[in-house]
Amino acid sequence: MMSKKVLVVDDEEVIRKFLRIHLINWGYEVKEAVDGVGALEQLGNEDFDFLLLDILMPQKNGWQVLEEMRSNPKTKNIPVIVLTAKDEDNDMFKGYTLGANYYMTKPFTNTKAQLLYGIQLMFGKNSESVNNINIFR
Amino acid sequence: MSLNTISYLIHEIKTPLTGIIGITEVALEEEDASKNKSYLMDILNCAQRISEIVGGLRSYSRITKKEEQSLVDIHKVLEDSLEMVRLGIKVTSVEVIKRFQPVEKIEANMGEIQQVFTNLITNAFQAMNGKEGRLILSTRSLKDSIEIKVSDNGIGIPQKHLNKIFDPFFTTKNPCEGMGLGLNIVYRIITKYMGTIDAESKEGIGTTFTIKFPTKGDGNGKESIGRR
């Protein structure tokens, strides 16, 4: 089975690091971008199964990335989990309106359970993407 | 402090906090003990960032308090500030030129005036990092004020940023290097004493900060010199 490919977009190295560790342990191939411009560049060059996307970033922010993704036929259907410290109702509403599939607010605790829930929501509980995940590892 | 500023600060604290929690969760499950040092370093770096934010806020809030004032010898404060920055940064390749003319003492809180020059000299050293630097500290007496200039031949500030450099939380540095309060603190201290600060800069050439403090009889803040 080919591993699913995830793009992790966050300007904080340490946040990319622990997300990368979980995702690799679950069998995903992980690529990273440190800002919105880098994310869109990688999305143009490669195919991804889903994105973890920070919002407040230099160059282009996550909202801009999401908007551009949803208006581009190549990327409009790629599921996106938004990761952000913006935790007010109107921020979440904006995220879902722009096309986010799941919304995780920083600082998140029990990261693995939250990520799994987001992935289950995107692909379904019994999908190939979810079956390899053991959060009790 | 505005709601926007508070909201910004909350974000600045939440980000390293997310790092601490996330890396700790990973470390708690890690069976390979040799990786723990790297996780602990990550946690320490994030905690230090939070500590710097809190430290910056403390300095920021102190300025609003009325503290003991005395007659401050600007030349002595410049010398002490320079010494303090040199000890902290350990830069050896910077030539320091002092052009001090006799100036009046000003009535102020010595610690605050020292913070002004420490912040400006630190920025100057950082701007000259990695090159043969030249820092010029000069003072002179004007009709109703004293003038102090801090000049460096560092990387300079892009024109588009010049009108924002005194704004709180404006920074072009890496988030780990500073949170953009240094020049705002400088600005707030100077204006507290009815002084002015002005910045001139050219990219690749250097930057000069010109500070004026009113001397006796002045200080009504009516003349506009640089930024108030």
Is the same domain home to B53 and B140?
no
Question: DSSP H helical segments within B30-109, as ranges?
Answer: 36-62, 74-89
Structure tokens at B160: 């588009």
Is the same domain home to B110 and B30?
no
Residue B140, domain member (yes or no): yes
Q: Higher pLDDT residue, B221 or B124?
A: B124
A-chain CB neighbours of B15 within 8 Å are: 12, 15, 85, 106
pLDDT digits (tens, 9 = 90+) for B117-151: 988 998 898 888 767 789 999 999 998 999 999 99
Half-sphere exposure of B173 (CA within 13 A, CB side): 15
Does the beta carbon of B221 lie under 8 angstroms from any beta carbon of chain A? no
Is the same domain home to B177 and B114?
yes
CB-defined contacts A:B, below 8 A? 52
Name the helix (H) or strand (E) containing A89.
helix A89-98
Residue B164, domain member (yes or no): yes
pLDDT digits (tens, 9 = 90+) for A12-24: 999 999 999 999 9
Smallest Cα distance from B100 to chain A, Å: 42
Is the same domain home to B192 and B80?
yes
> Which of A1-5, B76-80, B90-94 is predicted least confidently?
B90-94
Segments forming the whole domain that contains residue B120:
70-214
Indicate the pLDDT class of residue B208, thresholds 50, 70 and 90.
very high
Residue A105 near residue A85 (C-beta atoms within 8 A): yes
Closest CB to A14 among B11, B23, B25 = B23
**Contact check, Cβ <8 Å, A15/B14:** no
Is the same domain home to B54 and B75?
no
Of B43, B62, B81, which residue constitutes the final position of a domain? B62
pLDDT at B221: 38
Closest CB to B18 among A21, A56, A108 = A108
Does the beta carbon of B96 lie under 8 angstroms from any beta carbon of chain A? no
Q: Compute the 3-state secondary structure of chain B and give helix, strand, coil in percent, each to the nearest 5.
A: 45, 20, 35
Of B21, B43, B62, which residue constitutes the final position of a domain? B62
Backbone dihedral region for residue A35 (phi beyond 0: left; psi -120 to 50: alpha; all else: beta)? beta
- How high is the mean pLDDT of chain B? 82
pLDDT (average), residues B33-60: 85
Q: What are phi and psi of A115, to 5 degrees?
A: -65, -45
pLDDT digits (tens, 9 = 90+) for A44-59: 999 999 999 999 888 8
Residue A83 near residue A54 (C-beta atoms within 8 A): yes
For residue B84, pLDDT over 90 is answered with no
Closest CB to B14 among A14, A21, A106 = A106
Is the same domain home to B104 and B80?
yes
A-chain CB neighbours of B29 within 8 Å are: 137
Residue B228, domain member (yes or no): no
Q: Which of A18, A86, A105 to mutate to test the interface with B (most CBs of B within 10 A)?
A: A18
Is the same domain home to B125 and B186?
yes
CA atoms of A68 and A64, how far apart (whole Å): 6
Is the same domain home to B132 and B185?
yes
Q: Is B122 helix (H, G, I), strand (E, B) or coil?
A: helix
Smallest Cα distance from A87 to chain B, Å: 10
Residue B185, domain member (yes or no): yes
Q: Which domains are assigned to chain A? A: 5-130 (3.40.50.2300)
**CATH of residue B81:** 3.30.565.10
- How high is the mean pLDDT of chain A? 90
C-alpha distances in Å from residue A100, one per residue of A39, A63, A91, A103: 15, 9, 11, 7
Domain count within chain B: 2
Is the same domain home to B136 and B28?
no
Is the same domain home to B22 and B49?
yes
Where do we find the tokens 């679950």? A26
